[in-house]
Amino acid sequence: MAKKIRIPKLNKFSKNVFVLAGGTMFSQLLILLTLPVLAHLYTPAEFGVFSVYTSIVSLILVISSLSYEVTVTMPSSDRAASSLVHLSLYLCMGISLLSGLVFYLLQNKIADWLNVSEIKGYFFLVIFSLFAAGVYQVLNYWLIRKKHFKQIARTKYMQSTGQVATQLTFGIVHHGSLGLIVGDLVGRSAGIWGQLKRWRKDTSAENIRVTWEDMKDNAYRYRRFPLLSSGSSLLNSFSLYLPNILLAALYGPYEAGLYTLVQRLLGAPAILISTSVSQVYLSEFSSNVNHRPEKIYPLFMGTLKKVTLIGLLVIGSIVVIAPHFMFLLGDQWHHTGHLLPIMAMMYIAQFAANSVGSTIDVMERQDLHLLREIVRITIVTGALYLAWFTNQDPETAVLFLSIAATLGYLLHLSLSYRAVIKFKQQAPNLAEVSTSQAN
């Protein structure tokens, strides 16, 4: 009798990754499939203006809640976590209003500095984009804490559908960069209502009532995050989004638009896999730090090895296959094929680093986080200005940027590894202290 073939069961971590990846896969596939249509509806320069706008919003987003949203997964009690959700939402509202006012009042000066005059007509939307993205970000951490990964996946469907439908509609009637920007705003807003209802349902089920005193106590308990993590997160955001802004300022919106399109091609699989992995990793890692410290090192190394191998295979495949289909984008985009291999190494490194990127935050090593981001922003910004001052062409400038960013991600990984090793060495002592306290 033939032996039955046993199909290995997926562990809990892998199941959760696949749930999230399903939602993200739909999102990214929809964006990729409609990319050729969008490339015909919008010019590289319009994509360049769009990339500058979204980069500005993304830069401010990381401090919209002063990094308190990251702490939602950390407390042992849901009441403390819910108080941090309240605190983060209030901060997001205030910072969104303040940022929107500043950009509206200084729109002419900012547009001149950016060398993108068209963008000043869109700054009135900053307040809405920032608030929508900030609220989604805060509530998403609650869903991660409670392991509502199916809910997160559903929001991905809604976001991508809303974004693409709006951008295609505006593109057909040709409203320039406004169509791309409004589509992004619609995408950021989608799913928030469902998140909010889930959070309220969870807190009602446990009869959680948060007071101002709760928010005050937990704001102080996690004060290292706004004091240290906010600065380092802002620097991290600069290293990610400043290249789009500087490319537009130094080389023009057209070059920034080409760079943005390659970001979409190479960034799609990075978002598809590494984002899903990182959210499940954050949930598992936070739980292990509190309850099973001996599992920290295996989780970190196992996740890193798997995503690095996947990153090499996926990004490598895109670099080989994509140039054969560039004709679908139209003649105005033909230079993007030259940027694919140049930017590939940067995205492979990002793929690996972002998957385990929450390690330092969860272990409350904000000192390493700050050091990492200071070095990264220095070398990334320095690379672009070096290219500009030495009169390099745009492709060479992107090469300089790619090398610098890769070095930054390798530093990211090395510091995370150092933090895990130090925690591993201290784990036996932590277990002894925990046992003695229990007795």
| pLDDT tens digits, 378-432 | 898 999 999 999 999 999 999 999 999 999 888 888 888 887 887 777 665 544 4
d(CA 77, CA 54): 35
Q: Count the alpha carbons within 13 Å of 363 in the hemisphere toward its beta carbon.
A: 26
Query: Model confidence over 45-103: pLDDT tens digits?
Result: 999 999 999 999 999 998 999 889 989 988 889 999 999 999 999 999 999 999 999 99
Q: Which of 324, 346, 203 is nearest to 267 (CA)?
A: 346
Determine, yes or no, domain membership for 1: no
At residue 247, the pLDDT reads 92
d(CA 52, CA 71): 29
Determine, yes or no, domain membership for 420: yes
Determine, yes or no, domain membership for 223: yes
Q: Is the pTM of this model over 0.85?
A: no
Determine, yes or no, domain membership for 6: no
Determine, yes or no, domain membership for 4: no
Determine, yes or no, domain membership for 418: yes
Determine, yes or no, domain membership for 366: yes
At residue 307, the pLDDT reads 81
Q: Which residues of the chain have pLDDT under 70?
A: 1-24, 232, 269-272, 275-276, 279, 282, 289-290, 361, 364, 366, 426-439
Give the residue numbers spanning the domain of 94: 12-428
d(CA 405, CA 372): 12
Residues 195 and 58 sit within 8 Å (Cβ to Cβ): no
Residues 371 and 415 sit within 8 Å (Cβ to Cβ): yes
To the nearest 10 degrees (0 to 180), the angle between helices 276-291 and 126-145 is: 50
Determine, yes or no, domain membership for 410: yes
How far from 53 is each of 27, 114, 168, 240, 258, CA to CA, in Å? 21, 10, 18, 14, 15
Residues 329 and 33 sit within 8 Å (Cβ to Cβ): no
**Residues 214/216/219/220 CA torsion (nearest 10 deg):** -110
Q: What H or E segment, with its residue span, contains residue 182? A: helix 177-189
Buried b / exposed e along 155-170 (16+ C-beta atoms within 10 A): bbbbbbbbbbebbeeb
Residues 184 and 163 sit within 8 Å (Cβ to Cβ): yes
**In 299-437, beta strands by DSSP E:** none
Residue type, 131: F
Q: Which of 157, 136, 137, 151 is nearest to 201 (CA)?
A: 151
Domain count across the chain: 1
Residues 59 and 237 sit within 8 Å (Cβ to Cβ): yes
